[in-house]
Amino acid sequence: MSALTLCAVTDTSGQVARPDLLAAALPVHRQLRPGLPATEAAYVEKMQRIFGYGARMVVACLPDGKVAGLALYRVYENTYEDLRLYIDDLVTDEAQRSMGVGSQLLEQCETLARVNGCRYLVLDSGTWRTQAHKLYFRQGFTISSFHFTKPLLDA
């Protein structure tokens, strides 16, 4: 694997600091979330709303500037884990999987969690993503709960 550079797409206030990297993240992000907008303008607009709700993004870049992976995360406090860094999305480009990109992004998230005084690093993962689960277990994650969802189609 070529050397990766981890770059923050957003600053600490959630403003897009690297619009070039946000745009470059779109095809990789859609590999995990195919429901994201397909056009750059609509993706940027959606992500700016999400950043406004507290999310932040870091990308892993190859030497040629191509995005190899990304982590979308947020730091917040709740009643059962206190301060936590929650990873909304963690995805590695299909062509770069099993080459350490995900591990480096997780390590960066853990560093950010520690810097922010978080007691936990947390994520959810689809039950079918067994390869990703192997990575999470190697990184020291455990299955601590079930995640329940109820669609509100009329909302």
pLDDT tens by residue, the chain, 155 residues: 458 999 999 999 999 999 999 999 999 999 999 999 999 999 999 999 999 999 999 999 999 999 999 999 999 999 988 999 999 999 999 999 989 999 999 999 999 999 999 999 999 988 888 888 898 899 999 999 988 889 998 76
* 34-36-41 Cα angle (round to 5): 135
Q: Torsion-angle region of residue 62: left (phi > 0), alpha (psi -120 to 50) or beta?
A: beta
CA torsion sign for 152, 26, 53, 145 is positive
CB 85 within 8 A of CB 112: yes
Residue 126, pLDDT score: 86
| CA count, 13 A, side-chain hemisphere, 94 | 4
What tokens does 43 get? Answer: 């993706």
Residue 2, pLDDT score: 56
Please give the C-alpha separations between residue 85 and each of 4, 36, 39, 97, in angstroms, as whole numbers. 23, 23, 29, 23
Residues 6+ apart with CB under 8 A from 121: 84, 85, 87, 106, 109, 110, 113, 141
